[in-house]
Amino acid sequence: MPRMVLASRSPARLATLSSAGVRPDVLVSGVDEEQILADAAQRFGDLDPVDAVLLLAQAKAEDVASALESGDMETESEGDRIVVGCDSMLEIDGVIYGKPADADEARERWRAMRGGRGVLHTGHWIVDLRDDEAGGTGATLGSTSSTTVWFANLDDAEIDDYVATGEPLEVAGAFTIDGLGGPYVDRIEGDHHGVVGLSLPLLRELLGEIGVPWRKLRTS
């Protein structure tokens, strides 16, 4: 049975997989996200948000996969492994946002977002490390999930209170839909799992491309 390795420290991504019956091993990549984006911009010009999150997801997945193959990282579970990397960014009026640097930035972000909408892009990348005997393909591939999010029209006191919880500082776009920020999201158009940080339908499709049915990864 193949084992999934999640190349992310995100508790929300882990919880999303766990709720769907998949218990991955977790290994966090050591890539420099800002440097990767800067290098890409120098080579290709400014990236679209869809491409930026996919590039970072690829870098994270391939970094962990390389460390596993070299023996620099190990998982607690044995078996043939498939590495999954993800990255999320919020796009508003063509500008992309990751995690706020501090509380002041989070407050400013929310004052700009309230009563409006944005698009949450989440890049997904998988690396197939299974042996040939286990059906391994050696593939490395990915895709991006994009979901439109409409934000409630919060007043300044609500923004200050939410930022004071610390949650907006820990997540791309400075909000959650599955946590304390849930009351401040009016509605979405697209996959709500993608807003949490990992689109289960998209991941299922990517796994299907390397011949791995979702049921093969479920442990419960």
Q: Is 138 exposed, middle or buried (0-12, 13-18, 19+ CB in 10 A)?
A: exposed
* Exposed/middle/buried for residue 91 (C-beta within 10 Å: 0-12, 13-18, 19+): buried
Rounded-to-integer distance, Cα 186 and Cα 124, Å: 26
Query: Within the chain, how many helices (H) and strands (E) appear?
Result: 7, 7
CA angle 122, 46, 188 (to 5 degrees): 30
Residues catalogued as catalytic: 87
Backbone angles phi, psi at 159, to 5 degrees: -65, -45
Question: What SS3 class is residue 206?
Answer: helix
Its sign, for the CA torsion 67, 18, 23, 51, is negative
DSSP 48: P
Decide: 84 and 203 in contact? Cβ < 8 Å: yes
Beta-strand pair 3-6/25-26: parallel
